[in-house]
Structure formats: structure tokens, C-alpha cells
Amino acid sequence: MSLEYAILVSLQERAGSGYELARRFDKSIGFFWGASHQQIYRSLKRMVELGWVTGDAVAQEKRPDKKVYRVSEAGAAELARWLAEPADPPTVRNELSVKIRGASYGEVAQVLAEVGRHRRLHAERLAIYRAIEQRDFPDPTRLSGQSLHQFLVLRGGIRTEQSMVDWCDEVIGALEDDSSA
């Protein structure tokens, strides 16, 4: 049910169409809440039924019409209510850890290669986050309100990716030592 609330937050920041929301979930919001366009269209439909958002058709030149969604008063109230609710900590489900734990039942070298691949993926993502940090928040001490909140979420992403890179390095080092011994 949280996708609806992620959409409410995004639409409060700026009204937009389903397509535009899908783009935002490919970056920005999507860095901490992933969602496909199919999910987004379905959720928007439900949210219109619930009266949380309104969708106005907007004609465009040389482009298909789009429906621009806006948060209603009821939607804003619902978002405020949800923000005050406790969130359950996410269930941990780390496939790579399952593979490492089970490595001795297959080819350790292949699991090791996979850890290397994940290291690269996390390092890439970390580089993206660091670039955003430098571009959008050059002086973090002066931040307040919404931009501070955005910055703090980005900081979470940076910490998570950095810790993944460090862990992959530890795993790679230990497995290499072990296989050469």
C-alpha cells in the first residue's frame, strides 16, 4: 500500500501525468521506492476512486493528450495521517547473501564473480548519488525544510551504497584468499 503514498509525495512536489511519474520512479523517488509504469497507472486509478487525486486531461500539440494528476484535499489529509503512522522496518531479502552462504554447494568462483558484478553496480550507483549531492547540495549546512529532507534521503542512499561496496570488497578479498590457500 505504500506506493500510493510515494506517489502522493511526488505529486505534492509537482503535479504530473502517469508517464511523468513513471519517469520520476526511474530516478529521484525511484532511488528509494521502485515502481513500474503498470503499477503506477493502476495505483492512480485507485487513488482517483478514493478521491485522493484528481486527473485532468490536458491536450498537447504534436503529442498525445495526457492526464495531469493533482493531490486533492482528501489526499493531502490522508498523506499527513500516514506520515504519522509507524512504518515497519523492511523485510530483509538479499539474494546475493543466499548465494554466498550456499557458495560451497556450487562453484565458489562463479559466486565470487557475481559479487564482483554487484560491487560494480553499487559503485556506479554510488557515483550517481555523489554527483547529485555535489550538484544539488553544494552547501549542506544551509539546508532546511523540504530540501533538507531530500538531502537526508540522498545521504541514506550514499551510505547504503558505500556500505555495499565495502562489504563486496571484504567478501572478494576473503574468498580470493581462501581459494588461493
Q: Where do contacts with a second copy occur on this chain (CB under 8 A)?
A: 2, 5-6, 8-9, 12, 29, 31-34, 76, 79-84, 86-107, 110-111, 114, 117-118, 121-122, 143-146, 148-150, 152-153, 155-156, 159-160, 162-163, 166-167, 170-171, 174-175, 178, 181
Give the residue with the Cβ less far from a second copy, 34 or 51: 34
Q: Is 91 in the site for DNA (CB under 7 A)?
A: yes
Cα 29 to Cα 21: distance, rounded to the nearest angstrom: 9
Cα 57 to Cα 66: distance, rounded to the nearest angstrom: 6
Cα 73 to Cα 40: distance, rounded to the nearest angstrom: 21
Q: Is 89 in the site for DNA (CB under 7 A)?
A: no
Under the phi-then-psi rule, with left for phi > 0, alpha for psi from -120 to 50, and beta for the rest, what region is 62? left
User: Which positions from 31 through 70 interact with DNA, judged by CB under 7 A?
Assistant: 34-39, 41-42, 44-45, 60, 62-67
Give the residue with the Cβ less far from DNA, 65 or 139: 65
18 binds, among DNA, a second copy, none (CB under 5 to 8 A by kind): DNA
12 within 8 A of 71, measured Cβ to Cβ: yes
Kindly give, in sequence order, each residue whose CB lies less than 8 Å from that of residue 157, ignoring residues fewer than 6 positions away: 31, 32, 125, 129
Position among 7, 11, 22, 112 found at the interface with DNA (CB under 7 A): 22
Q: Which stretch binds DNA (CB under 7 A): 16-24, 132-140, 146-154, 156-164?
A: 16-24
Q: How far is the CB of 151 from DNA (least distance, A)?
A: 25
Q: How far is CA 110 from CA 42, 114, 116, 122, 172, in A?
A: 39, 6, 10, 19, 12
32 within 8 A of 156, measured Cβ to Cβ: yes
Q: How far is the CB of 64 from DNA (least distance, A)?
A: 4
Cα 87 to Cα 90: distance, rounded to the nearest angstrom: 9
Which residues of this protein are in contact with DNA, per CB under 7 A? 1-3, 17-20, 22-23, 34-39, 41-42, 44-45, 60, 62-67, 91, 93
